[in-house]
Structure 1
Amino acid sequence: MTIVKKKKRVSKKSKTAWRKHCDIADVEAFLEDQRLEERLGKFETKPDEELFVLDTKGEEEDVKPDIKPLSAKQLKRAKLAETPKCFHILINSSKVSDPNAKRNTVKQPGTKSTDLSKLSEKRQLEKGTLQKKLELMKKNKKLAVVKRKKGQTNRQRYDKDIWEKSELEAKGIPETLCDDFISPEAQLHNVPVTKRLRSKPPPPKTVVSRAAVEVPHPGVSYNPSYKEHQELLQEVVVHEQMMMKKQAHLQRVTTGMFRKITPQEKENQWLEEMSTGLPHPHNPATDQDPTEEPSDDEYKAINPPVQNKKKDHKTRRKQKERILEKEKLKRQKIDKQKITDIYKLRKIQASVSKKEQLDAKLREKRTSKRLQRATTALPALNAHKAPVKEPEFVDPKQLTGDLRNISGSASLLRDRFQSLQRRGALAASKIMMTKRKKLKKYYKPGHKVTDQDVDNFMKKSQAKAMATLLRDK
């Protein structure tokens, strides 16, 4: 037996209660169908060809044509003309006409020419610059098209003979290394795996006008004349004075800036600085001021009270008169300074012209010096600078007068190597000294070692360490 539920009577006084207790699904479905017909068009207005298909073949099986399937590349190219799926939502598929037929078209910002742009175009037309710009744009477009076509065209001439090169050149070795006196192993060793040589240093910007070999001073000879020896001695003295002056300057601006004090003075100074403002621990009675009167716990302000004394009319008038007088004096001083500056114009003009002439002379001098330095400048082979040559000098006591008793004071190999660096033939190098590890030495005891042998070994090691320390200092 089916139970029929009694309808529940509810109030439909408000809109929310009406929407809650009323079924409007059929109305919404009707409105949705109506909107769909507005977008896609009504069925009554569409022709039969769009709604129906005339079947003329019947139930016969369709014969698939023998079409070669497209490759992946061809499929990708075919999809280029299609609209991407991300832009499908932007396509207007509605059939509803615009309710406002007389809608104003809004142009993009920048498309409408302003009064200023019209004026500038008119001026360019009058001068002819606009026509030149258009012609230049057309010419550049033609050149770009020609360049693109030239890059796309393949080489039609095959006049290159791949067998004309030698075996070494075919391997990637340049002609500069294909010499008779260089072995093939050395040639192949200089060419990396990529068959390209290392980047060469940039060539010198200017021609080096230095001498091939620096001629030493005549006073360096084993048997020099007195005059030449004294000239060399004077050069060495000047060089040493410059070095001493430089060393003294460094000492003055570094170590000499700080005052030297003893440890006791430093401790006393530290105690004095740290105890500033604290009561003295030895004599507390001296901390109190004897001039102060004994207080009876009465509060006294540090600053006395200030009375709000009003200014009368006379005081304010005098104050205004003083301010006006000060302003008047200031104006008179400015006017007087203007008059004096007018009289000084001729003098200032003469000093400015003199300064300009002096600056022009200095500029010309610096330019000539720079050009002269550039003509004799070495090629920049690397970041290091060539070592500066120091003057050589032989003590008069060591002069022998013959080659038999002469003693060499310098290394010939180092001298020639630094000479090549100073003349730009070799790149300047930097000495890299590796730090040697300090080996710890100890005496290995044995059954035949006595205490005296151990003491002798310790004394020798201590003496060697002291000698090393003195040498380092």
Structure 2
Amino acid sequence: MSVVKKKKRVSKKNKKAWGKYSDIRDVEEFLEDQRLEERLGKFDTKPDSELFVVDTAGDNEEVKVEADVKPLSRKLQKRAKLNEVPKCFEVLLPTSKVQDPNKKRNHVNPIGFKPSALSKLREKRQAQKGVFEKKLVEAKKNRKMALDKKRKAKQVRQNFGLDLWGKDLPASKGIPETLVDEFISEEAQLHNVLPTQRLRPKPPLAKSVVTRAAVETPHPGVSYNPSYQEHQDLLRQVGQHEEKMMKKEAHLHRVTTGMFRRVTQAEKENQWREEMSSGLPQPHNPAEDPDSDTDNEYKAVNPPVKNKKKDHKTRRKQKERLLEKERLKREKIDKQKITDLYKLRKLQSSIKTREQKQASERTKRAEKRAATEATALPTLSAHKTPAKEPDFVDPKQLSGDLRNIQANTNPLRERFESLQRRGALAASKIMMKKKKKLKSYFKAGHKVTEKDIEKYVTRNVGKK
């Protein structure tokens, strides 16, 4: 080992300086030898058979040529590799021969290494049910299906008569050969095909139309000769309906017209005058000046401010007030925490009752939704079905026979709306066209008489 001449007066207070000005090659060589022995093992512990080989053949003897060994088949090679450690797991094996420093380390078995009582019970139940047999049968079936699929994929297609563009031919769309012409568009050809030749599926009838009654039975109080109780019951229903409509109309008036207050014409003019003269300079009126009645004393616009300092007493009082305020705030927070702790049981019970209530309401809503869906009308149009208005006859207009009865409703319109309410017809909306007002002119002539003039004047006055 060569001796390194140390520099005089070299600072070694840092680790970097020790490594720079100290010779540590002997320590590195010793550690390298120790690592090599850890990897390969010590020579003292190895037997002589591993270190030395006895030469018995000699230099002059001929080397025996071994007979050709028949190589193993592929199947035997795979079987021999079963006992070997896979390449992917070789990284996990220890490469060093260094012993574990902690010899009393507890060995932890992986999960599923030893069957538990619960797993044994589960396997026993599955064996009784025949789960494993079903899995074997299903696996066998899947393997067979995979083999059949693979065999079919390998087979060469023998049928060459398949038309890949057959779907676009006119015959597939129901167009006969007599209508096929290259000069006529396809839309025109389809238009001329008879309806019997077009394959258009007819939609099934809606459930609500099938299950709903044919005609809704009217209330017994609508009869021309009802009983007193039935007539009073109908009167009560009509009164409730009218109250509901009045309430709805009052609500609409409250949220629309009632929101805006009415302003008179004078108030409107005053508001307009104030808004238009808001930015203009106002004329000075000495009578309205508040300082006019005072003496002619000079007053500055910005009077001087005195710099009055706070003494120690006021500052101390201010600090005490702040501390007292903070203390009261903290006491209030602590008290709130204690009350919250006592309220936990009450909160838990209230949450439980609320959850039960929400669950019951949820079930009720689901039942109601299912009932409405079962009897819901088919959506035949975008308009809503007209609601049935209650029919009521005043007691004074009631007649005991059919000859003197007065019809309040139109039977044709009533049946039409009944069909719409039952889903047999699409709901419609009455569209009233406004009649154009024709302006008439009087054409004077020698044949016009005074009666014609009077007739024209009276007709126009009545229109106005």
Partner of 2:254: 252
Partner of 2:264: 262
What is the CA distance between 1:339 and its match in structure 2?
1.1
What is the CA distance between 1:428 and its match in structure 2?
1.2
Change over 3 Å in CA distance of 1:229–1:323 after alignment to 2: closer
Change over 3 Å in CA distance of 1:208–1:280 after alignment to 2: farther
8 Å CA contact 2:175, 2:193 repeated in 1: no
C-alpha deviations, 1:290-310, integer Å up to 9, x for none?
A: 4465769x7833x43444555
8 Å CA contact 2:222, 2:392 repeated in 1: yes
Partner of 1:441: 440
Change over 3 Å in CA distance of 1:293–1:354 after alignment to 2: same
Change over 3 Å in CA distance of 1:439–1:191 after alignment to 2: farther
What is the CA distance between 1:188 and its match in structure 2?
7.1
SS at match of 2:224: coil
Amino acid at match of 1:422: R
Amino acid at match of 2:213: A
8 Å CA contact 1:220, 1:393 repeated in 2: yes
Amino acid at match of 1:431: I
Partner of 2:300: 300
- Once residues 205 and 379 of structure 2 are traced to their aligned partners in structure 1, the CA distance between those partners, rounded to angstroms, is 8
What is the CA distance between 1:273 and its match in structure 2?
5.7
Change over 3 Å in CA distance of 1:435–1:207 after alignment to 2: closer
Change over 3 Å in CA distance of 1:443–1:326 after alignment to 2: same
Partner of 1:359: 358
Which sits farther off after the overlay, 216-225 or 400-409? Answer: 400-409
8 Å CA contact 1:207, 1:375 repeated in 2: no
Change over 3 Å in CA distance of 1:278–1:358 after alignment to 2: same
Matches within 5 A, 1:224-243: 224-243=226-245
C-alpha deviations, 1:335-378, integer Å up to 9, x for none?
A: 11111111121222222222222222222222222222122111
Change over 3 Å in CA distance of 1:157–1:237 after alignment to 2: farther
Partner of 2:383: 384
Change over 3 Å in CA distance of 1:414–1:318 after alignment to 2: same
- Once residues 453 and 159 of structure 2 are traced to their aligned partners in structure 1, the CA distance between those partners, rounded to angstroms, is 89
- Once residues 241 and 399 of structure 2 are traced to their aligned partners in structure 1, the CA distance between those partners, rounded to angstroms, is 25
C-alpha deviations, 1:39-80, integer Å up to 9, x for none?
A: xxxxxxxxxxxxxxxxxxxxxxxxxxxxxxxxxxxxxxxxxx
8 Å CA contact 1:378, 1:423 repeated in 2: yes
Change over 3 Å in CA distance of 1:219–1:171 after alignment to 2: farther
8 Å CA contact 2:225, 2:400 repeated in 1: yes
Partner of 2:342: 343
8 Å CA contact 1:203, 1:379 repeated in 2: no
User: What TM-score, normalized to structure 2?
Assistant: 0.53
C-alpha deviations, 1:422-471, integer Å up to 9, x for none?
A: 11112212222333322111222212325664354233222134xxxxxx
8 Å CA contact 1:204, 1:380 repeated in 2: no
Amino acid at match of 1:338: K
What is the CA distance between 1:204 and its match in structure 2?
4.4
8 Å CA contact 1:280, 1:287 repeated in 2: no
Q: Percent identity?
A: 57
What is the CA distance between 1:405 and its match in structure 2?
3.4
1:413 partnered with 2:412: yes
Partner of 1:333: 332
Matches within 5 A, 1:186-225: 191=195, 204=206, 209-225=211-227
Amino acid at match of 1:225: S
8 Å CA contact 1:208, 1:378 repeated in 2: no
Matches within 5 A, 1:46-61: none
SS at match of 2:362: helix
- Once residues 445 and 157 of structure 2 are traced to their aligned partners in structure 1, the CA distance between those partners, rounded to angstroms, is 91
8 Å CA contact 2:384, 2:427 repeated in 1: yes
8 Å CA contact 2:286, 2:292 repeated in 1: no
8 Å CA contact 1:208, 1:377 repeated in 2: no
SS at match of 2:258: helix
What is the CA distance between 1:251 and its match in structure 2?
1.7
8 Å CA contact 1:210, 1:376 repeated in 2: yes
8 Å CA contact 2:209, 2:423 repeated in 1: no
Amino acid at match of 2:222: V
Q: Which runs of 4+ in 1 moved over 6 A?
A: 152-158, 187-190, 199-203, 276-281
What is the CA distance between 1:316 and its match in structure 2?
4.5
Partner of 1:289: 290
Change over 3 Å in CA distance of 1:254–1:224 after alignment to 2: same
Change over 3 Å in CA distance of 1:208–1:363 after alignment to 2: farther
8 Å CA contact 1:222, 1:403 repeated in 2: yes
Q: Which runs of 5+ in 2 are unaligned?
A: 1-90, 93-110, 113-142, 163-170, 177-190
Amino acid at match of 1:255: T
Change over 3 Å in CA distance of 1:195–1:366 after alignment to 2: same
What is the CA distance between 1:411 and its match in structure 2?
2.2
Matches within 5 A, 1:124-203: 170-171=174-175, 191=195
- Once residues 266 and 341 of structure 1 are traced to their aligned partners in structure 2, the CA distance between those partners, rounded to angstroms, is 57
Amino acid at match of 2:300: K
Aligned residue pairs, count:
299
- Once residues 294 and 370 of structure 1 are traced to their aligned partners in structure 2, the CA distance between those partners, rounded to angstroms, is 85
Amino acid at match of 2:265: P
User: What TM-score, normalized to structure 1?
Assistant: 0.52
C-alpha deviations, 1:217-236, integer Å up to 9, x for none?
A: 22222333333222222222
8 Å CA contact 1:208, 1:375 repeated in 2: no
C-alpha deviations, 1:227-252, integer Å up to 9, x for none?
A: 32222222222211211121122122
SS at match of 2:442: coil
Amino acid at match of 1:349: Q
Partner of 1:322: 321
Amino acid at match of 2:239: V
Amino acid at match of 1:267: E
Amino acid at match of 2:430: I
What is the CA distance between 1:390 and its match in structure 2?
0.7
Q: Which runs of 5+ in 1 are unaligned?
A: 1-117, 120-125, 128-138, 159-166, 173-186, 466-473
8 Å CA contact 1:208, 1:376 repeated in 2: no
What is the CA distance between 1:205 and its match in structure 2?
7.2
